[in-house]
Amino acid sequence: MRVGVPAEIKSAERRVGLTPSGAARLVREGHQVVVESGAGRHSGFDDDAYRTAGARLADRDAVWEQADLLVKVKEPVAEEYRFLRRDLTLFAYLHLAADRPLTQALLDAGTTAIAFETVRDGRTLPLLQPMSEIAGRLAAQAGAHHLQASAGGPGMLIGGVPGVAAAKVVVIGGGAVGTQAALVASGMMADVTVLDASGPRVRELTDLLGHRTRVLMSDDDEVARQIADADIVIGAVLVPGAAAPKLVRREHLRTLPAHALLVDVAIDQGGCFETSRPTTWDDPTFDVDGITHYCVANMPGTVPRTATRALANATTAYVVRLTNGVDRALGDDPGFAAGLNVADGAIVHPGVARAFPDLPAAGDAAPARIDRPGVLLD
């Protein structure tokens, strides 16, 4: 099989979909790997590293056109839609429920699209977990940075000092993103509260986070109470594969302190704050009703040396399985098959079908029952 690895062109995205080590593994197994020149530069992998691994270097058009399997990090952007075709399998983060244009482009092209974020292993999302952990840690760091006056904030130190109160940080969602955000924020001495809708998870987090962090059951009233005096609110709630629920609505903004900062880590899936819209690292924040919103859509992209390696640790084995036959790989593993979002001009994933009920969907893509929002992000 021919495996293509293009350079990422989404704004400020510096990760790469396959490391030289992963390329060497594929080559040893008899596959061809074509990498866009410069694709790994920001992740610490120069072109020579890929050549040594046995990969061939090419320009962007050649990588896309020659690939049977295209391995990316982030979803194709509009200028890449022209490369989509029926005999291509795309393996990347896709977040289709928040991206109608890409969903339509994949349907029109007949591309087979497998999303990292919906692949399952039992109750876990193994290809989302590492980026969720990075995004959670970055969310707390971003919150601390944007409280500073030099970043346009109110001039607060997130951890306070003796005699001066620490900032109150409310984390909505206690999965991988929320847990890591809480750990880092509490490590910076902030006053941290985590809200989660699962009783068992609340107990787990209470044991994990210790007495320095409050962990409370989440419902609409508790969310409203806790954010009313919060300095930072981190949104880390997601229904895997589906549009994120809007847990903080516009009418809530008038109850927040005037200097409050909202960090929406769920923005790839449409955001869990009603007033959110995607931002970039070049222009990360905007104000609504006097409340600052931070909604960078590819947070781990700013730490590519860490993020690429962490992602490859999780994805490379799945790439290898796909090269030995896409149908076989998905047919042998229902968890891997859960990653299939679009195929043969129809939506396959229930969450995406629910987001776009007017678009063609396979018969088994009826909306599934969801017990509670998930809490993982890339």
Q: CA 53, CA 85: separation in Å to the nearest integer?
A: 28
Is 132 annotated as ligand-binding? Answer: yes
Q: Tokens 């991206």 identify what position?
A: 99
pLDDT exceeds cutoff 80 at 264:
yes
Instruction: Name 288's bridge partners.
Output: 291
Is 238 annotated as ligand-binding? Answer: yes
pLDDT of 238: 76
Q: What is the pTM of this model?
A: 0.91
Show the domains of the chain with their CATH numbers. 2-125+304-355 (3.40.50.720), 133-301 (3.40.50.720)
Q: How confident is the model at residue 11 (pLDDT cuts 50, 70, 90)?
A: confident
Q: 218 vs 96, 199, 285, 349, 360, CA distance in Å?
A: 27, 9, 27, 28, 36
Is 298 annotated as ligand-binding? Answer: yes
pLDDT of 177: 96
Among candidate residues 80, 62, 78, 69, the one with its CA nearest the CA of residue 23: 69
Q: Burial letters for 343-359: b for 16+ Cβ neighbours within 10 Å, e otherwise?
A: beeebbbbbbbbbbeeb
Tell me the per-residue pLDDT of 115-127, one tens digit each, with 9 for 90 and over.
999 999 998 999 9
pLDDT of 240: 77
Tell me the per-residue pLDDT of 137-189, one tens digit each, with 9 for 90 and over.
999 999 999 999 999 999 999 999 999 999 999 999 999 999 999 999 999 99
Is 266 annotated as ligand-binding? Answer: yes
Are 28 and 22 contacting, i.e. CB atoms less than 8 angstroms apart?
A: no
Annotated catalytic sites, by residue? Answer: 95, 268
Mean pLDDT rounded to a whole number for the chain: 94
Is 341 annotated as ligand-binding? Answer: no
Residue 151 makes CB contacts below 8 A (sequence gap 6+) with: 145
